[in-house]
């Protein structure tokens, strides 16, 4: 579960991480009052459970209470990446000398937490890793012993910090580790950690993702789930309610499969041939015709999808059921786009006969199907 920025900062505040003076507002009038109480220029930040809010206009500045009222009113009317803005965080605007990145997440290949530190904060850490990999320092953390003082100091040193700054950064890393442990986190990060002209360190942003399996230990978060407040988009929530796993991505090829591993392999195959997946949709094992029909409707409700790749490996999922679902869906689909089908496994012959009778082609090879769907998108371009 991803927490709102203000929730993450509350967790940061509990362990003593330095934060700018702030207040949370759900109306323009509240935003004006908070700005007046802070008595300084402020930044007004949309509180949504999605990234990219700055580029979408969800982070703006104001120098006076009246300006804050007008700006907050604009932001509170926005919907960013399918998330309606209901609250804004009003914070003191900071002067910036340097931006640093600090984060702790899980390295699943090593089965350990990993601490990450970089003197290049303020941008996506993935961009830094791609362009300047030498600027990122990492350290695996023993899950039993935790992050120790000397390890935090060494990590800060490896990131290029010197002198007393090593001790300051190490101290912040240790507090971030405390946040990670106390909140059963999968990820927590500060990006950017601001260094002000007078040498103070302040967490300008905060991210905290809590492991869903631990929610029974976090009553407030469970109540949020019960209230229906989610980081999911409307389509993701719709799929969840139907018992399917759906995640929106940024490409234009819809992906449907049965089983998370198969769907990920399908995405890899599409990317190998130069395509860009628009989603991850797993209909699950033993899926029915109705579920396949619903899956196609959800995928094609996204306006960016220009073609769909359906990849079925029949086990407890029957190919004839999937074929019937595809045919039923085509009667009511919101848009007409190319659909490439690969089906093998349980009742494959019957599924092939059903599709053939409807004059719907399909393939046996995942590679061939992936190449075909990418070609379909290229033709449309």
Which residues are CB-neighbours of 43 under 8 A, at least 6 positions away?
59, 60, 61, 62, 90, 91, 92, 93
Residue ranges in the chain assigned as alpha helix (H): 5-14, 28-38, 65-76, 125-131, 149-158, 164-182, 219-226, 234-241, 260-272, 289-300, 319-330, 348-357, 366-380
Active-site pick, 30, 91, 189, 321: 189
Active-site pick, 5, 91, 101, 248: 101
Helix, strand, coil share (%) of the chain residues, nearest 5: 40, 25, 35
Say whether 246 is catalytic. no
Say whether 189 is catalytic. yes
CA-based nearest residue to 334, from 377, 302, 364, 361: 302
Give the whole-angstrom CA distance, residue 91 versus residue 12: 15
Residue 190, token pair as written in the block: 């500060």
Cα 171 off chain centre by:
28
Residue 142, token pair as written in the block: 């023993």
Residue 278, token pair as written in the block: 């628009």
Give the whole-angstrom CA distance, residue 6 versus residue 203: 12
Contact 136, 177 (CB under 8 A): no
Residues labelled as active-site residues? 101, 189
């Amino acid at each position: 579960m991803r927490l709102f920025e203000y929730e993450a900062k509350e967790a940061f505040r509990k362990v003593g991480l330095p934060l700018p003076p702030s207040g949370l507002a759900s109306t323009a009038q509240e935003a004006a009052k908070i700005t007046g109480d802070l008595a300084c220029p402020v930044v007004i930040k949309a509180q949504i459970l999605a990234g990219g809010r700055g580029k979408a206009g969800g982070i703006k500045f104001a120098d006076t209470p009246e300006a804050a009222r007008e700006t907050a009113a604009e932001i509170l009317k926005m919907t960013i990446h399918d998330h309606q803005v209901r609250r804004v965080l009003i914070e003191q605007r900071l002067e910036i000398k340097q931006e640093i990145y600090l984060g702790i997440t899980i390295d699943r290949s090593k089965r350990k937490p990993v601490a990450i530190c970089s003197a290049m904060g303020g941008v996506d850490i993935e961009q830094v890793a791609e362009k300047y990999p030498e600027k990122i320092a990492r350290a695996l953390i023993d899950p039993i012993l935790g992050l120790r003082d000397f390890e935090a100091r060494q990590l800060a040193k490896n990131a290029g910090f010197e002198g007393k700054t090593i001790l300051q950064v190490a101290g912040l890393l240790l507090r971030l580790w405390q946040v990670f442990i106390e909140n059963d986190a999968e990820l927590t990060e500060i990006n950017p950690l601001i260094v002000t002209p007078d040498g103070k360190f302040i967490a300008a942003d905060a991210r905290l993702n809590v492991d869903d399996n631990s929610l029974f230990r976090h009553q407030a978060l469970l109540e949020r789930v019960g209230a229906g407040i989610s980081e999911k988009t409307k389509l993701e929530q719709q799929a969840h309610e139907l018992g399917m796993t759906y995640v929106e991505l940024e490409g234009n090829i819809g992906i449907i499969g049965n089983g998370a591993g198969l769907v990920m392999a399908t995405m890899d195959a599409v990317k190998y041939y130069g395509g860009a997946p628009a989603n991850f949709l797993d209909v699950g094992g033993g899926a029915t015709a109705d579920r396949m029909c619903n899956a196609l409707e959800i995928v094609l409700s996204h306006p960016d999808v220009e073609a769909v790749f359906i990849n079925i490996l029949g086990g407890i999922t029957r190919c004839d059921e999937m074929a019937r679902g595809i045919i039923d869906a085509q009667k009511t689909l919101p848009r007409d786009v190319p659909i490439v089908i690969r089906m093998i496994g349980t009742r494959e012959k019957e599924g092939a006969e059903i599709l053939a009778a409807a004059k719907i082609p399909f393939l046996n090879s995942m590679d061939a199907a992936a190449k075909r769907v990418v070609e379909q998108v290229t033709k449309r371009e």
